[in-house]
């Protein structure tokens, strides 16, 4: 029957229908599949006989030898390797040795090539001929090698005599393994005897000199290897002779000890030369540390892991350090400091648990040198960087106090600055770790800030012209040189100096002016970022404010850069001079974890120092940052009522009065006088009560400073009010607006202050009271001097009344004051 082939477009159902038609016709297929017999089943194991007949209804796919029921899961027997029985291994066999035995690499083959011993072979020279090439000949034509004429009996006799030699008479280095069985031992013994004879002919000094020369030339690892060979040979001798030594051997061994030690290449030479067994030897030009096994506190064992090759140089660090000793030489020794910045004497023997010993130079000496501290500042470990910066800060602090002047040669500060210490601290400020930033700020505070100077400047603020402080600018190199052209104008000279400074590099500028060098490295921007973003702990915030105060005292240019720094003053005023804050900070047991959002007296002092930079700086601070409202806030309220600790509240009030005094000296913020006049009168009325609190109140010195600041404020307000009449009159030039305070508003304060002065003079007889009231008495006298000086310029002045007041003040107050013994002592101090 002819069946049609499948055509395109027919579906799977059509193909199944064609298959059913083919099976119903029982026609033979065009292709027949023949399955080959399976060899594992035998010749007739094709499996076609057991296949059931095909059904016409459906298409069935059958698998050969696939049972209907799944067999049980039984693990198959393990396969046997054909090569396992050929290799026999032991449990204690070293894997490395097994790999070496079965290694078939070309390098392993070449490494096992051993040179044949040709020392006793006869050498036959070729016979000269006229042929261009030597004639080829058979090896049978070569003459027999000349054998050694020594008899076997003499060889055996030598062998047994050699085995009976004592260990100290045998060679330990030269063994002659490459010469031959018998001749190698005989030749090695001959060389050893020659060495012994040469040593016998030398003196002890010559032996020691030759020993030092060899130790300088030889590699330390080779010396350690020779010492290990000696220890192995001594162990073999003890095993061979466990009993007493033979007669005469001990004495001979003692007599040849020094010779024996040098003959084995230096092994054991410390025992003969140095009985104390000090293994540290100092070689000229180089220091090498040598170690033998018995010097170690822990004996290395072969059973330990990775102790097949004992490295004595590394094991030496577990030994106890030798005692430090001071060298008797005129050359100075390297200075070393403790973790507190204290200078450690060269011969100080400190315990190792203090953490002052390390593996650097002079390991037996405790402490760290400046070079090592600089190296630790660049470490990748945070703790090491922090510790190094802290130690350097302590060193700088003690060096400024003069503690190293009698012990060290030269200036430590100058040495640190020349080595780049300033820029090291500047780079550390850019670190991302808070501890490193804090340590660098502490070190920078120790370098720049002098707390004693700040304390004295605060005490002299109320003196005559006390707020006019000279800028802290060092003498530059240009000021020491002569002027090149005297006809230059001031503007040209200033521009010339600026161009010279701008052309210099940062290290050159920082060498003679540290503040100016820091300002060229965006130092202020980094401090602003630390205050605004990092928000460190209160101690670090106070250090930053102290550093900024020192920068502001440098010059008017530095004050301008501080005011021009973006968001610096805004951050300080917003965070550290707020109008209100959490009152819990005033509680005695409260732990202040953050100074942000709390009023701070140091921040007010920074604003006051900035205002001292000039009239323009004062106007910018008062008008741009709204400091008038903050002055009213901190002055109107009594320090006892401020939600701060008592000492901090008094300091904050004192700095507020000083800032107001600076502004009043420039003719600004005088309008606050009318608003705060009741507060000022209340303070003046409480001044006589300070004498009763002199002995009982611990904050009495702070209260005296606050009182002097108030009198200084009134002095400058009075001086400004005295110019009102002069500025209000007609003038030819530009009219300057008068200050918002008049003479009549300030003239009524004189009786209060004059009465307080009389009481202070009466207390001069008591020395303790006079020492406490002396600053306040000084401000009274300065106020009265300014008052009568300005009073003489007022239009409403009555000359007769004024002269009578001055005369009465002179006879009743000033002359008795000058006649006091306390004044005589002050005159003596001035002489």
**489-527 confidence digits (pLDDT tens):** 545 555 555 555 566 777 788 888 899 999 999 999 999
Position 387 in a domain? yes
387: nearest Cα among 415, 355, 420: 355
Q: What is the average pLDDT score of the chain?
A: 76
Domain CATH for 418? 1.25.10
Query: Which alpha helices (DSSP H) does 325-401 contain, by range?
Result: 370-377, 382-400
Taking CA 124 as the corner, what is the angle to CA 122 and CA 125, rounded to the nearest 5 degrees? 145
How deeply is 735 buried, as exposed, middle or buried, from its count of CB atoms within 10 A (0-12, 13-18, 19+)? exposed
Same domain, 413 and 298: no
* CA dist., res. 254 & res. 249, Å (int): 9
The predicted pLDDT at position 658 comes to 95
The predicted pLDDT at position 271 comes to 36
Q: What share of the chain has pLDDT > 70, as a percent?
A: 68
Say if residues 595 and 543 touch (Cβ distance below 8 Å).
no
Q: How many CB atoms lie within 10 A of CB 812?
A: 13
Same domain, 698 and 808: yes
Position 738 in a domain? yes
Same domain, 264 and 399: no
When pLDDT is averaged across residues 231-241 and rounded to a whole number, the result is: 53
* CA dist., res. 147 & res. 237, Å (int): 35
Q: Each residue of 572-581: pLDDT tens digit? A: 999 999 998 8
- Give how far Cα 312 sits from Cα of 293, 296, 300, 306, Å: 7, 9, 10, 14
Q: Helix, strand or coil for residue 368? A: strand
Same domain, 401 and 312: no
Assigned token pair, 327: 């060298």
Say if residues 762 and 777 touch (Cβ distance below 8 Å).
no
Assigned token pair, 422: 């300033």
Q: Which residues contact 373 (CB under 8 A, 6 or more apart)?
A: 337, 388, 391, 392, 395
Say if residues 343 and 333 touch (Cβ distance below 8 Å).
no
Full domain range(s) for residue 7: 1-30+54-62
Position 442 in a domain? yes
* CA dist., res. 281 & res. 276, Å (int): 12
Position 590 in a domain? no
510: nearest Cα among 500, 499, 521, 498: 521
Same domain, 292 and 404: no
Of 37-46, 283-292, 295-304, 539-548, which gets the smallest average pLDDT? 283-292
536: nearest Cα among 594, 581, 600: 594
Same domain, 209 and 288: yes
Position 802 in a domain? yes
Taking CA 647 as the corner, what is the angle to CA 644 and CA 651, rounded to the nearest 5 degrees? 90
Same domain, 186 and 308: yes
pTM over 0.85: no
Assigned token pair, 542: 């106070």
Please give the full DSSP string across 256-276, using - where no structure is assigned.
THHHHHHHTTSTTHHHHH-TT
Same domain, 733 and 806: yes
Position 583 in a domain? no
The predicted pLDDT at position 146 comes to 39
772: nearest Cα among 828, 710, 695: 695
Same domain, 262 and 388: no
Confidence category of residue 530, pLDDT binned at 50, 70, 90 = very high
Say if residues 359 and 410 touch (Cβ distance below 8 Å).
no
Examine the fold and report which residue of 318, 346, 381 is the final residue of a domain before the chain moves on: 318
Q: What share of the chain has pLDDT > 90, as a percent?
A: 27
Examine the fold and report which residue of 423, 448, 473 is the final residue of a domain before the chain moves on: 448
Q: Which of 202-211, 303-312, 684-693 has the highest average model confidence (pLDDT)? A: 202-211
Say if residues 355 and 404 touch (Cβ distance below 8 Å).
no
Place of tokens 């000022």: 680
Is residue 270 predicted with pLDDT exceeding 70? no
Q: Which residues contact 221 (CB under 8 A, 6 or more apart)?
A: 313
Examine the fold and report which residue of 416, 431, 448 is the final residue of a domain before the chain moves on: 448
The predicted pLDDT at position 325 comes to 65
Of 140-154, 545-559, 577-591, 767-781, which gets the smallest average pLDDT? 140-154
Position 58 in a domain? yes
* CA dist., res. 462 & res. 423, Å (int): 38
Place of tokens 């009239």: 615
Assigned token pair, 101: 């035995």
Say if residues 749 and 714 touch (Cβ distance below 8 Å).
yes
Of 231-240, 399-408, 517-526, 758-767, which gets the smallest average pLDDT? 231-240
Q: Helix, strand or coil for residue 337? A: strand
Same domain, 190 and 279: yes
The helix, strand and coil proportions of the chain, stated in percent and rounded to the nearest 5, come to 55, 0, 45
Assigned token pair, 825: 């002592």
Confidence category of residue 443, pLDDT binned at 50, 70, 90 = very high
Same domain, 264 and 376: no
Q: What are phi and psi of 15, to 5 degrees?
A: -65, -40
Q: Each residue of 790-830: pLDDT tens digit? A: 888 888 878 888 888 889 999 988 888 888 888 888 888 87
State the total domains in the chain. 4
Position 699 in a domain? yes
Say if residues 535 and 492 touch (Cβ distance below 8 Å).
no
Same domain, 382 and 444: yes
The predicted pLDDT at position 607 comes to 96
Q: Each residue of 716-725: pLDDT tens digit? A: 999 988 887 6
């Amino acid at each position: 029957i002819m069946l049609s082939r499948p055509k395109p477009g027919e579906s799977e159902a059509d193909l199944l229908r064609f298959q059913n038609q083919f099976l119903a016709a029982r026609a033979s297929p065009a292709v027949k599949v023949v399955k080959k017999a399976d060899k594992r089943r035998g010749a007739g194991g094709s499996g076609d006989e057991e296949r059931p007949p095909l059904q016409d209804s459906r298409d069935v796919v059958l698998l050969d030898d696939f049972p209907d029921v799944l067999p049980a899961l039984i693990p198959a027997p393990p396969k046997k390797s054909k090569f396992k029985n050929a290799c026999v291994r032991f449990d204690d066999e070293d894997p490395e040795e097994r790999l070496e035995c079965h290694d078939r690499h070309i390098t392993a083959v070449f490494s096992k090539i051993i040179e044949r011993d040709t020392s006793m072979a006869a050498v036959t020279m070729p016979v000269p001929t006229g042929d261009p090439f030597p004639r080829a000949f058979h090896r049978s034509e070569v003459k027999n090698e000349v054998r050694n004429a020594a008899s076997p009996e003499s060889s055996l006799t030598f062998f047994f005599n050699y085995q009976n030699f004592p260990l100290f008479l045998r060679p330990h280095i030269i063994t002659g393994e490459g010469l031959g069985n018998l001749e190698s031992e005989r030749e090695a013994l001959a060389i050893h005897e020659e060495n012994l004879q040469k040593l016998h002919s030398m003196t002890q000094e010559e032996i020691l000199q030759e020993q030092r020369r060899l130790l300088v030339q030889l590699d330390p690892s080779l010396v350690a290897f020779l010492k290990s060979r000696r220890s192995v040979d001594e162990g073999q001798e003890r095993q061979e002779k466990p009993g007493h030594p033979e007669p005469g051997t001990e004495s001979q061994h003692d007599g040849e000890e020094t010779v024996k030690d040098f003959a084995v290449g230096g092994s054991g030479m410390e025992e003969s030369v140095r009985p104390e067994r000090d293994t540290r030897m100092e070689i000229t030009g180089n220091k090498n540390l040598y170690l033998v096994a018995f010097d170690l506190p822990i004996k290395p064992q072969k059973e330990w892991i990775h102790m097949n090759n004992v490295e004595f140089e590394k094991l030496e660090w577990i030994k106890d350090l030798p005692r430090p000793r001071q060298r008797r030489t005129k050359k100075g020794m390297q200075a070393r400091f403790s973790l507190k910045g204290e200078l450690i004497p060269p011969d100080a023997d400190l315990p190792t648990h203090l953490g002052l010993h390390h593996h650097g130079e002079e390991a037996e000496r405790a402490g760290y040198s400046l070079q090592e501290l600089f190296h630790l500042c660049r470490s990748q470990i945070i703790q090491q960087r922090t510790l190094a910066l802290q130690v350097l800060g302590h060193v700088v602090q003690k060096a400024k106090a003069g503690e190293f002047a009698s012990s060290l040669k030269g200036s430590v500060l100058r040495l640190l600055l020349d080595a780049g210490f300033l820029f090291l601290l500047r780079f550390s400020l850019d670190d991302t770790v808070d501890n490193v930033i804090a340590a660098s700020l502490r070190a920078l505070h120790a370098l720049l800030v002098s707390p004693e100077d700040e304390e004295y400047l605060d005490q002299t603020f109320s003196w005559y012209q006390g707020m006019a402080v000279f800028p802290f600018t060092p003498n530059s190199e240009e000021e020491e040189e002569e002027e090149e052209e005297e006809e230059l104008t001031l503007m040209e000279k200033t521009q010339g100096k600026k161009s010279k400074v701008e052309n210099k590099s940062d290290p050159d500028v920082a060498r003679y002016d540290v503040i100016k060098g820091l300002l060229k490295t965006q130092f202020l921007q980094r401090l602003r970022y630390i205050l605004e973003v990092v928000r460190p702990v209160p101690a670090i915030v106070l250090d930053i404010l102290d550093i900024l105060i020192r920068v502001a005292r440098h010059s008017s240019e530095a004050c301008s850069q501080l005011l021009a720094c973006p968001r610096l003053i805004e951050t300080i005023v917003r965070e550290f001079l707020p109008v209100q804050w959490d009152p819990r900070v005033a509680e005695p047991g409260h732990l202040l974890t953050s100074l942000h959002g709390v009023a701070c007296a140091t921040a007010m002092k920074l604003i006051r120092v900035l205002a001292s930079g000039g009239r323009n700086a004062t106007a910018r601070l008062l008008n741009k940052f709204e400091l008038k409202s903050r002055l009213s806030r901190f002055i109107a309220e009594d320090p006892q009522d401020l939600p701060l600790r008592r000492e901090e509240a008094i300091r904050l009030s004192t700095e507020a009065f000083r800032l107001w005094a600076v502004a009043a000296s420039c003719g600004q913020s005088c309008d606050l006088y009318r608003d705060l006049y009741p507060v000022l009168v209340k303070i003046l009325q409480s001044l006589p009560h300070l004498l009763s609190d002199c002995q009982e109140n611990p904050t009495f010195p702070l209260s005296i400073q606050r009182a002097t600041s108030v009198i200084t404020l009134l002095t400058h307000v009075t001086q400004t009010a005295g110019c009102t009449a002069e500025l209000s009159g007609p003038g030819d030039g530009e009219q300057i607006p008068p200050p918002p305070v008049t003479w009549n508003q300030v003239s009524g304060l004189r009786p209060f202050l004059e009465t307080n002065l009389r009481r202070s003079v009466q207390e001069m007889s008591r020395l303790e009271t006079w020492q406490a009231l002396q600053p306040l008495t000084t401000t009274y006298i300065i106020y009265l001097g300014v008052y009568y000086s300005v009073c003489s310029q007022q239009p409403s002045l009555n000359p007769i009344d004024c002269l009578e007041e001055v005369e009465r003040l002179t006879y009743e107050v000033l002359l008795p004051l000058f006649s006091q013994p306390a004044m005589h002592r002050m005159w003596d101090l001035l002489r």
